[in-house]
């Protein structure tokens, strides 16, 4: 995120005489993203975006059971909060 209207003013005092200097401050903010997770075999994922703070939800197809966390969160370090789950077929 950059803005041309942000300004920083610093005032120095030298020998009791105020001296004013203006500085331009440029800021760069990188958006943190996680790599999209792999859907489990015999299942899928619901994900709107992979930005920091986003949540992915995992599901299994009919006849399969989810083993592991049903959802993970994209953390500020760019990694998901856990391991991708698996789908296990029901015993017949």
- Note whether 34 and 80 are within 8 A (CB): yes
CATH of domain 43-89: 2.10.70.10
Q: Which of 13-22, 28-37, 63-72 is the least confident region? A: 13-22
**Predicted pLDDT of residue 15:** 61
**Predicted pLDDT of residue 31:** 84
26/60: higher pLDDT: 60
Distance, in Å, from the CA atom of 75 to the CA atom of 54, rounded to the nearest integer, reads 8
**Residue 4 confidence class, pLDDT cut points 50, 70, 90:** very low
- Strands (E) across 8-63 are located at 8-14, 17-23, 43-46, 55-60
Average pLDDT of the segment spanning 48-75: 95
Asked if the model's pLDDT at residue 54 lies above 70, the reply is yes
């Amino acid at each position: 995120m950059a803005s041309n209207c942000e300004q920083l003013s610093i005032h120095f005092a030298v020998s009791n005489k105020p001296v004013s200097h203006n500085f331009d401050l440029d800021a760069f903010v990188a958006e943190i993203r996680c790599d999209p997770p792999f859907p489990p075999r015999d299942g899928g994922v619901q994900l709107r975006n992979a930005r920091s703070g986003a949540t992915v939800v995992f599901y299994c197809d009919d006849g399969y059971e989810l083993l592991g966390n049903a959802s993970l969160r994209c953390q500020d370090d760019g990694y998901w909060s856990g391991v991708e789950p698996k789908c296990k077929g029901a015993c017949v």
